[in-house]
Amino acid sequence: MNRVIKVLKLGASSGRRGAGRGRALVAGGAGFLGSHLCERLLGDGYEVIALDNFHTGKRYNLTGIAGDASFTCIKHDVVDALPGDFAVDEIYNLACPASPPHYQADPIHTFKTSVLGSINLLDLARRHGAKIFQASTSEVYGDPLVHPQPEGYFGNVNTHGPRSCYDEGKRSAETLFFDYSRTYGIDVRVARIFNTYGPRMQPDDGRVVSNFIVQALRGEDITVYGSGTQTRSFCFVEDLIEGFMRLMNAPVAPQHPVNLGNPVEFTIMELAELVVDYTNSRSRIVHRPLPVDDPRQRKPDISFARQHLGWEPKVALSEGLAHTTAYFDALLGGRRSVGSRSAARSSVHVAVGS
């Protein structure tokens, strides 16, 4: 796949602007979330332009839509000036590595992506009067002292730790988005994303769900950092993308970030045991030292999203793990058959809202 998947006709002369739902630009469009978002937008009738530098995004994530006449992908880093003045109706900024091994590999570039990338996309939105969406993160809450975390909580953060390039970059991006909104009247939508999983995660991305599934499928030790009593909440990717769309399509832009995530909380040990059970794995669960600044608790308060967007996750962890495990099993070459030894029990144990 070359720099451009297919030729893009820039500007309003493309003949598609105004047709269907309009034209959407997705920065980070080849990534885990970005590729799912591109598919959803195409399905909803948008013309879609994806930008990605392919540092962490993968070309194969776009295989299913690369031939769509309404889809274009351009290889580009949003840190640099945009490669054209795109006439767009909506912009989604998902351009930033989101897993610790990836964003820590080049922390300065990670921070630039959040700050300079946001400025470039906000200026584009300003020129064309486009709505613009920022994929922020629950990491802005740091290691929270308030649980669950509401949007009004300002966090317990470290500005100079090994994770700060990502955490503080995203906090800075939120500042830029709301300052552009107040200064220039731009319609901005900011989502704080909590742990999300599903097909198209990378097997080496260092996130807990992908780590555990890949280790289990390979029969390797499952690595739990710390005691495993720290908690996370896990949202399936389709639910999250639905939240994106509802936030972007809300008739009134919220004047603050909005939490999007699953409020059902699990310990890391519970997740490890569930993955071992589901995959029929003989893997042992082993413990390693907890990384610096790893949060002890993570659970969103989604009251605002429920009340104002009519949104909450629908997919139980058992169902989402089935889809995700099947994806990794195929990606790894079908190294073992998977299926829960106690699917009925698991389904009850992890049902959303339990």
Sign of CA dihedral 23, 26, 31, 32: negative
Catalytic residue among 166, 180, 197, 278: 166
Give Cα separations from 80 to 23, 52, 54, 152 (angstroms): 22, 12, 14, 33
> Annotated catalytic, 166?
yes
Pairing of strands 90-93, 22-27: parallel
Q: Write down the residue that tokens 């900011």 correspond to.
A: 190
The answer to whether 262 and 352 have CB atoms below 8 angstroms apart is yes
One-letter amino acid at 48 equals: V
Give the span between the Cα atoms of 87 and 339, in whole angstroms.
47
Helices (H), ranges, the chain: 32-43, 100-105, 107-128, 164-184, 208-218, 237-249, 268-279, 303-304, 317-331, 343-349
Distances (CA, A) of 249 to 6, 173, 259: 28, 21, 16
Count of all residues that appear for the chain in the document:
354
Q: Rounded to whole angstroms, how far apart are CA atoms 93 and 230? A: 30
d(CA 73, CA 50): 5
Q: Give yes or no for a contact between 23 and 89, defined as CB atoms under 8 angstroms apart.
A: yes
Question: What residue type is assigned to position 333 of the chain?
Answer: G
Alpha helix stretches (DSSP H) within 266-340 = 268-279, 303-304, 317-331
Residue 190 DSSP SS3? strand
Residue that the structure tokens 């104002």 belong to: 308
Active site residues: 166
